[in-house]
Structure 1
Amino acid sequence: DGIYVAELFHGPTYAFKDIALQFLGNLFEHILKERGEKMNILGATSGDTGSAAIYGVKGKDNINIFILHPSGKVSPVQELQMTTVKSENVFNIAVKGSFDDCQAIVKQLFSDLEFKSKYNLGAVNSINWARILAQIVYYFYIYFWVCDKQQIDEQHLRFVVPTGNFGNILAGFYARRMGLPIDKLLLATNENNILHRLISRGDYSIKDVVETYSPSMDIQLSSNLERYLYYLYEEDAETLRKKMKELSGERKIHFTEEEINKIRTVFLSHESSNDETIRTIRNFHTNTGYVLDPHTACGVNAANNMMSKDNYIYVCLATAHPSKFPEAVYKATGKYPEKPKGISELNDLEKQSYVLNNSADEVKSFVKNILEEGDKNAGR
């Protein structure tokens, strides 16, 4: 029917982020050993990044990892995947706030150059360039796989990318810049639609986060957009700096009509409501027998919307196994998705996390206490 679903979730945490983070964990360990150095990873997650990062570096030599997630605002499976890992170098921090709050804390700590240097801070989420680099690869792999299965005229294929933080689709943007002969990238999002508003009408203004069935996209401030804007502004770092200052002060960025049109030469976008997400899971399952997770459902819904207007081939990136979001699948199909062994065993494991207030200073003190004094009761 013109839609391919590319399953990118066949890693240890059943999320697309495993592909890059398994590579990144081994890369870090190798380089740190070679240099005789240590690293303390600090990251924020809206769900999948945290568990994938933890599984990528757990038990690795010369690495500690501190992952912040919004307390009570990730799926139960995502929480279990993070908090049941028993490893001396893993520290889960549940922040009383939103993902955007967690991300702001991480950025603030990285901006403290003295603290960053003293404690050898490093990143594993999509603000780390090496992770974006690894993700570029599967765009090429998928393109050639589809070309092998189906005769495609040049630039007659579009990738559909469910995204909230603009990391996965940024990798597609770089692949396209490197010469991958695709048409446009279709950005799929949920009711936290800041990226859709940007592409569709030039409105990049921060609003309150809305809880949805696709929590990994419950984001209003996309940290990777800054990298794309660098190219939008013709690699003018000073203009970009001014625009980011504008965003910080006014909670919005102003774009000219020319800039909006330039964005649209690369990106299309579509927003899916909660109801549309559930309906897409239901209809796709009824028609094909295939079960989508709610993030991928946003992508399929976006593709369906566009296919009514054109005849492009759409490849939707499936970002997570549906069993990570059982309640949404049950609501859509009346059945819980089948759990792979790695997920079904989680309920039998003991959880451990540290609950902290939405405070950069409190998180900074926690990290400092752990690294200097080994105080694992801090923030309990």
Structure 2
Amino acid sequence: MDILYKSTRGDSNRVTSSDAILKGLANDGGLYVPTEFPYIDITFKDMMSMNYKEIAFYIINKFFTDFDELTLKNCIDNAYDDKFSSNLVAPLKKIDNNYFLELYHGPTLAFKDMALSILPHLLKASCKNLNIQKEIVILTATSGDTGKAALEGFNNVDKTQIIVFYPKKGVSTIQEKQMITQDGKNTHVIGINGNFDDAQRGVKEIFSDKKFNNLLSNKNYILSSANSINIGRLVPQIVYYVSSYVQLLKIGDIQENEKINVVVPTGNFGNILAAFYAKNMGLPINKLICASNENNVLCDFINTGVYDIRREFKLTSSPSMDILISSNLERLLYEISSDNPYLVRNLMEELKTNGIYAINENMKNKLDHFYADFATQEETLSTIKEVYNDFNYVIDTHTSVAYCVYQKYRQKTNDSTKTIIASTASPFKFPESVVKSIDNNYDVLSDFGLIDKLSNISNIKVPKAVQELKSKRVVHCSICKKDKMKSIINNILNV
């Protein structure tokens, strides 16, 4: 079955996966979605003999049908190699009766590595499939983790430039240092005087600017995205949910086709959307639990059907979720509207114009796949301490949000379904919040002093990626106003 891709906003063109991956956004500003969902057509017991790469090939091959098998296998082999510190790539760790899916064993210690390790290879293969010779410009907005993972993935990749915009005061110290010390002749990192939504809005506007894109094309450049708006990032994220289910089967904690819950801390909605896509493919998921921090716009939407960004933007200890405009929600709107692009386009226009939209009752009823709640800043920090004291297990601030919301879910529903908690970042990326949550006697320690203390507390060796930051020099110092992003790109590309 050949899978093509269409826009959530009604563009009549149907494109191959290579086209969709390379373009990132559709011509009308919409997001690419598959024309139909492929189905998992082997048993999960059959998957028990497969490793992560083999499961990845099975899933991704169903979506990217214009890639030949050898090319796709090479992309997967190059992505999930020894840059991951775990042989399982995404190990499922059982802590008491909890199952933490550790998605942070890649080179930048965050779940973004799971997709951004393969995206550069998918992009190069897409160019080859389409016989495109232009230089690719990867344009990315980040709330902290995507930026470093994209920079690492595209570092010195031939015929590419990568430009990352991040909120100057909206990421952790370690996240920022990971980005501004990035080597590579083709890497460019710019802090903006604004928040993540400003950066993301600017990137989307640049993609939608036909005049600017034509200018770049005439200079032999083509824009693409490493954000989760790119279907080439979203599809590989489906894999680890399938893999985690198989791991549960292997340890005998579930039976074949037994339903599970999945808890995902999310801001831009991509990670939990991947779990929803896995469910569409036939993964037996009972409830998708959406965990928000105090920027709880998604929580409110799932519970009320109203998406309202007219609220205070809060800087929290879980900065990768400090987002009010959740781009990937548009893909869910398309699904629950029965594939109605005109309705989706109108909702997106309402959001842009008024900062709010409300879905109809029929769409709202289709949100019953989801449960949503949020954790306050205080709850986030106290939960880190609670998990450490109860289980001698250290989690980061984003995973803490997920675990806190899961506890609330259990209390409200008494649901005892086996539940996978997406652990999206290493605690070593947020040492100040994590260490001080466990013991507030370390206020005087520097970031790297806190990292050493965290290593002692967790009995885990400091990851190489963090250890190396101590001696790395800053190479990216640029800062710009949020309305000057296009000018920065002009200067970088000399157009």
- Please give the range of the TM-score, normalised by the shorter of the 2 chains: over 0.9
1:378 paired residue number: none
Given that 2:249 and 2:256 are in contact with CA atoms closer than 8 Å, whether structure 1 keeps it comes out as: no
Of structures 1 and 2, the one with the larger relative CO (CA 8 A, separation 6+) is 1
Residues 394, 427 of structure 2: 8 Å contact kept: yes
Paired position in structure 2 for 1:277: 380
RMSD of aligned Cα (Å): 1.5
Correspondent of 1:355 among 479, 483, 488 = 479
Q: Partners in 1 of 2:213 and 2:262 — Cα distance?
A: 37
User: Is 2:427 the partner of 1:322?
Assistant: yes
- Whether the 8 Å CA contact 1:32–1:62 is kept in 2: the answer is no
Q: Is the 8 A contact 2:156 2:186 kept in 1?
A: yes
Alpha-carbon separation, structure 2, partners of 1:300 and 1:353: 36
Q: Counterpart of 1:11 in 2: which secondary structure?
A: coil
Q: Check conservation: 1:110, 1:121, Cα contact below 8 A.
A: yes
- Which of 465, 472, 480 is the matching residue for 1:342? 465
Equivalent residue for 1:171? 274
**Which of 154, 162, 165 is 1:68 aligned to?**
165
* TM-score (ref. length: structure 1): 0.94
CA distance in 2, matches of 1:347, 1:64: 26
Partner Cα separation in structure 1 for residue 247 and residue 204 of structure 2: 38
CA shift at 1:279, angstroms? 1.1
Q: Which runs of 5+ in 2 are unaligned?
A: 1-95, 217-221, 440-449, 456-461
- 1:153 Cα deviation after fit: 7.0
Report SS of the residue matched to 1:184.
strand
Q: Does 1:131 align with 2:233?
A: yes
> Amino acid of the residue matched to residue 205 of structure 2?
Q
**What is the Cα deviation at residue 27 of structure 1?**
2.1
TM-score normalised per structure 2: 0.73
Shift in Å, 1:323: 0.6
What number of residue pairs does the alignment pair up? 370
Structure 1 pair 155–228 and aligned structure 2 pair: CA distance change class (3 A)? farther
Q: Which amino acid aligns with 1:250?
A: N
Amino acid in structure 2 at the alignment position of 1:340: P
Alignment pair present for 1:13 and 2:108: yes
Q: Does 1:122 align with 2:245?
A: no
After alignment, is 27-36 or 234-243 more displaced? 27-36
Q: Which runs of 5+ in 1 are unaligned?
A: 374-380
> What does 1:3-42 align with in structure 2 at a 5 Å threshold?
3-32=98-127, 35-42=132-139
Shift of 1:195: 0.3
Tell me, yes or no, if the aligned pair for 1:127 and 1:223 is still in contact at 8 Å: yes
| Distance of 1:225 and 1:248 partners within structure 2 | 14
Aligned to 1:158: 261
Match of 1:345, SS state, is helix
**Contact 1:164–1:217 (CA<8 Å) still a contact in 2?**
yes
Whether the aligned pair in 2 keeps the contact of 1:2 and 1:312 (CA below 8 Å) is no
Does structure 1 retain, via aligned residues, the 8 Å contact 2:142–2:196? yes
Tell me, in whole angstroms, the C-alpha distance in 1 between the residues paired with 2:312 and 2:244: 35
C-alpha distance in 1 between matches for 2:494 and 2:281: 44
| Displacement after TM superposition at 1:258 (Å) | 3.6
Tell me the CA shift for residue 293 of structure 1: 0.2
The corresponding residue for 2:291 is 188
Partner in structure 1 of residue 91 of structure 2: none
Aligned-partner Cα distance in 2 for 1:138–1:61:
28
| Contact 2:122 2:232 survives alignment (8 Å) | no
User: CA contact under 8 A between 1:163 and 1:189: conserved in structure 2?
Assistant: yes
The 3 A distance-change label for structure 1 pair 8 and 109 is same
1:235 alignment partner in structure 2: 339
1:79-118 aligned at under 5 Å gives the runs: 79-118=176-215
Q: Is the 8 A contact 1:91 1:353 kept in 2?
A: no
Contact 1:26-1:56 at 8 Å conserved across structures: no
**Per-residue deviation, 1:28:** 2.1
Cα separation, 2, equivalents of 1:97 and 1:3: 38
CA distance in 2, matches of 1:227, 1:74: 26
- Could you say if the C-alpha distance between residues 128 and 214 of structure 1 is closer, same or farther in structure 2, counting changes exceeding 3 Å? same
Report the Cα offset of residue 23 of structure 1: 0.3
Per-residue deviation, residues 25-82 of structure 1 (Å, max 9, x unmatched): 1222344466433100111000000000000000100000110000121001111111
Alpha-carbon distance in 1 for matches of 2:171, 2:275:
26
Give the structure 1 partner of residue 459 of structure 2.
Answer: none
Corresponding letter in the other structure for 2:424: T
Q: Deviations over 1:287-308 (max 9, x none)?
A: 1111000000111111112223
Q: Give the drift of 1:91.
A: 0.5
Give the drift of 1:260.
Answer: 2.1
1:340 shift after superposition: 1.1
Output one character per residue of 1:171-190: Cα deviation in whole Å (capped at 9) or x when no partner: 11111111111111101110
Q: Do structure 1's residue 211 and structure 2's residue 315 form an aligned pair?
A: yes
Task: Go from structure 1 to structure 2 and tell me whether the alpha carbon gap of 1:240 and 1:344 turns closer, same or farther (over 3 Å shift).
Answer: same
Aligned match of 1:376: none
Report the Cα offset of residue 201 of structure 1. 2.2
